[in-house]
Structure 1
Amino acid sequence: MDEGSERGEASVSGCLHHPCVALDSRTRELSVATNDRVSVHTPDGAVSVERGGDARVAAASRDPFSIRTWREDGGLNVAVERDHDRRVYVELTLPAGVSLGSASTGCGAVSVEGVAGTPVVETGRGNVSVRGTDGVAAVRTGSGDVDVSICRLPDHATVETADGDATLTLADDLDATVELSVQGGDVAASPQTFDELAAKSAGYVRGVLGDGDAWLTAKTGGGDGIARRT
């Protein structure tokens, strides 16, 4: 069910901290409950997700756009819709107890920090940073660096960039088998990164932390792979 969309022409200075002149900008409160799940998407533009006191989405662009929300598969979806090719920058805040299902953009950086959930985080082109979540399901960029900090890993996960560096920061008490492979770059992971170093060669490393139940597979098609332990 479509929970609503909105359109307007509010004029503001600045574009959600990005270097553009916003001719259309709006903030919208989201109706969520404890243990709810929210996913956010913009066709083009940076996406930022962080912890906040309320569930809220803010977006800005140089041209008019709409924000559509609807419920599907037990979660709330938030999506930008537009009739132009301008970037629409999005900031989503989620309170404690509300998890992130996914954050995605066709082109632009994506930053996720300090929210609940094991999200899918994707961009067609741009850097991706994920920190302070309950884990990740998948992190992908077609071109850009990925920097992922993992404290917990409830299930198997993938981290991938077609062209860029892949950096994994692993919690000291993490239980996971970590597989990191690169093409056209170097792997930086000391034996001390893992409780057990299972395999290592040029462009590849596999190590075990804790009981190693969940698998974390990371790869880059053109860049360096870095694994470090906190």
Structure 2
Amino acid sequence: MNESFFGNPEFYAHRAHLYDAMLGSPAYNKLFWGTSPNDYAAFAARAIGSGSGPLLEVAVGTARASGLLHVASARSTTLVDMSQPMLALAQETIRTAAGGRIPQRITFECRDMLEPGSEQHYETILGLGLLHLVPDLPRVLSALGVQLNSSGSLFLGSLIKGSARSNAYLKLLKARGEIAEIRSVSEIYEQAKDANIGTVVVSHRGAMAYLVITR
């Protein structure tokens, strides 16, 4: 399985600055999703602080929510995105957060997140705002699980069904082909269990779910 379900990898790259501004807007997040940019950063901090071994962030985008946290961490970190322009923005985010020089322990790979470029296994895999882009959730989770070490954890976020306003906006995004599926928090939980990777815990705030699977 590969990441071809995302379609053209440049689709989001051409809108990178717009999505970055939306992700960082408290008003936008509260209005449409009933959440806050601080929630995304807190989830990323939880993932990054969950261990000390190698960490992989997939579909990293511009790294707006996680960039400063990666710089503050001491972990060996790999940031992956299919879009080279998007990955370049992530590099700039990290460089700025680090005061002009990217730490050597942070590397960037332009590749399919489901097709590992090496035999490296990770203690933690982080993906913010990812699962609503995925049509076959158990298969994608299984493919990511292959990249975990024997005691690793997945930390993955997803837009979900929420308020009437959130649901209407999700339907619009799906009709425009910008997301793949609209799921409830219970559907996320059940499909994550079907992947049979490890212990599944799902929490949510507003229309954003936070999935953690631990081996």
* Fold conserved between structures, TM > 0.5: no
Higher normalized helix content (fraction of residues): 2
Task: Tell me which of the two structures has the higher relative contact order, counting C-alpha pairs closer than 8 angstroms and 6 or more residues apart.
Answer: 2
